[in-house]
Amino acid sequence: MSKMTDSAKLVSRFESALRCPHCENPMKVAGLKSLVCPNNHTFDFTKQGYVNLLPRPSAGNYKKELFEARHKIVVETGLYASMHKTVGKAIKEYADAGNPCLVADLGCGEGSHLYKILDECDNPEVTGVGLDISKEGIIMASKRYDRSIWFVGDLAKSPFADQSFPIVLNIFAPSNYKEFKRMLVRDGLAIKVVPGPDYLRELREALYDDDEKRAYTNEDTVSLFKTHFHMQHLFHLNDTKKLNQAERQQLVQMTPLAWSRDQARIDAYLDRDVSEITIDLHILVGKYTE
Ligand SMILES: C[S@@+](CC[C@H](N)C(=O)[O-])C[C@H]1O[C@@H](n2cnc3c(N)ncnc32)[C@H](O)[C@@H]1O
Ligand SMILES: [Zn+2]
């Protein structure tokens, strides 16, 4: 069976969680080929299995090279393994309590974090739905990971029905809490992963002189999250790992931190002997109780 048909079958099990990005009516899978609303707005399954649900094309900043580098770092270095374990465990606890479990990753990029997290959570009843505004990211995700559902779409005007998801993830990506709350079921969880103050500290120090860019504070992000959700857990993860030169090259390519930086400074960072990198992350787990 083709990836397109497999994906259409998987989506048809969860079609009630979708709504048309144009007219907000429910959508259904038609002929294992398309998603269609009652006003005949039609979105085709692609051969890779994803569906583009953006009302109009969008040019993002994130390019294929960045997503490939993120994929390599996430899958090959294990830098984010503690984050995957922690988030996977939070989902598993929720799912094992017998709750039906559809997990949306909003701003999922090339999909590796969602894949690793679901692997950790190890519950076949949990299905992942990745959404990103970048078609490049979603193409990569859908080529690699076929147990999840992949959509190109805008998290600020999401193609998801009201109260259709028990869990939303939001990892290093912009948020739209009004939308997150609209799509969450009552007592559902929002899980947001943000950089802590020491995140990629060694790279920041190599590329910037300016103290503001070298240091990073997430206080405003955390306070805003708390105004929308009832905080259940706030995990602080701080890991330091050695990276070889090839891995440092991927790191430079995967982060907007190095955009428009002086090439000489980037080269000096790459030419170091084996060096360490700090992965300082805060994981916010909040319940939607309104
Ligand atoms: C720093 S990347 C993080 C990607 C992925 N979560 C990861 O950690 O590898 C931010 C992502 O947010 C996506 N994004 C930005 N604005 C968005 C929007 N309005 N709707 C959906 N995705 C968006 C970008 O395309 C990009 O993939
Ligand atoms: Zn419609």
Q: Ligand 2 mean position to 29 CA, how many Å?
A: 13
Query: Given this model, what pLDDT does residue 75 score?
Result: 96
Neighbour count for residue 67 (Cβ, 10 Å) = 24
Interaxial angle between packed helices 81-96 and 112-121, expressed in degrees from 0 to 180 and rounded to the nearest 10:
50
User: What per-residue confidence (pLDDT) applies to 12?
Assistant: 96
CB contact at 8 A, 205 and 99: no
- Token pair 């995140």: residue: 199
Strand partners, 105: 130, 169
Would you state the pLDDT for residue 217?
Answer: 84
**Distance of alpha carbon 228 from alpha carbon 230, whole angstroms:** 7
Using a 10 angstrom Cβ sphere, with 0-12 exposed, 13-18 middle and 19 or more buried, the burial of residue 28 is middle
Ligand 1 centroid distance, CA of 269 (Å): 26
- Quickly list DSSP for 151-204: EE--GGG-SB-TT-EEEEEEESS---HHHHHHHEEEEEEEEEEEE-TTTTHHHH
Instruction: Find the 283 Cα to ligand 1 centroid distance in Å.
Output: 17
Distance CA 11, CA 264 (A): 48
DSSP 213: H
Q: Give the per-residue pLDDT at 1.
A: 67
Residues with CB under 6 A from ligand 1: 60, 62, 70, 107-109, 113, 131-134, 137, 154-156, 171-174
Cα 1 to Cα 118: distance, rounded to the nearest angstrom: 24
Ligand 1 mean position to 140 CA, how many Å? 14
Q: 80: CA distance to ligand 2 center in Å?
A: 39
Q: What's the pLDDT at 212?
A: 65
Q: For 255-277, give the DSSP string.
A: -GGGTT--HHHHHHHHTSSSEEE
Pocket test for ligand 1, best of 53, 105, 134 (most atoms within 8 A of CB): 134
Q: Which atom of ligand 1 is found nearest the CA of 137?
A: 27
Amino acid 256: pLDDT: 85
User: Which of 108, 145, 178 most suits a substitution to test ligand 1, by most atoms within 8 Å of the C-beta?
Assistant: 108
Looking at domain 50-287, its CATH architecture is 3-Layer(aba) Sandwich (3.40)
128: left (phi over 0), alpha (psi -120 to 50) or beta: beta
- One digit per residue, the tens of pLDDT, for the chain of length 290 reads 699 999 999 999 999 999 999 999 999 999 999 999 999 999 999 999 999 999 888 877 788 999 999 999 999 999 999 999 999 999 999 888 877 689 999 999 999 999 999 999 989 899 999 999 999 999 999 999 999 999 999 999 999 999 999 999 999 999 999 999 999 999 999 999 999 999 999 999 999 887 766 677 889 999 999 999 999 999 999 999 999 999 999 999 998 888 877 889 999 999 987 789 999 999 999 999 97
Q: Give nearest CA residue, ligand 1 atom 25.
A: 134
DSSP state letters, 68-134: HHHHHIIIII-TTHHHHHHHHHHHHHHHHTT--EEEEEET-TTSHHHHHHHHHH--TTEEEEEEES-
Query: How far apart, in whole angstroms, are the C-alpha atoms of residue 230 and residue 264?
Result: 46
Tens digit of pLDDT for each residue in 174-216?
999 999 999 999 999 999 999 999 999 999 999 988 776 667 7
Q: Angle at CA 61, nearest 5°, toward 212 and 146?
A: 115
pLDDT value of position 216: 76
Measured by CA distance, the residue closest to atom 17 of ligand 1 is 133
Cβ-Cβ contacts under 8 Å for 233 (sequence gap 6 or more): 90, 283, 284, 285
**Ligand 1 atom with minimal separation from the 131 CA:** 21
Q: What is the pLDDT of residue 235?
A: 97
CA of 150 to the centre of ligand 2 (A): 19
Q: Considering only CA atoms, which residue is closest to atom 9 of ligand 1?
A: 109
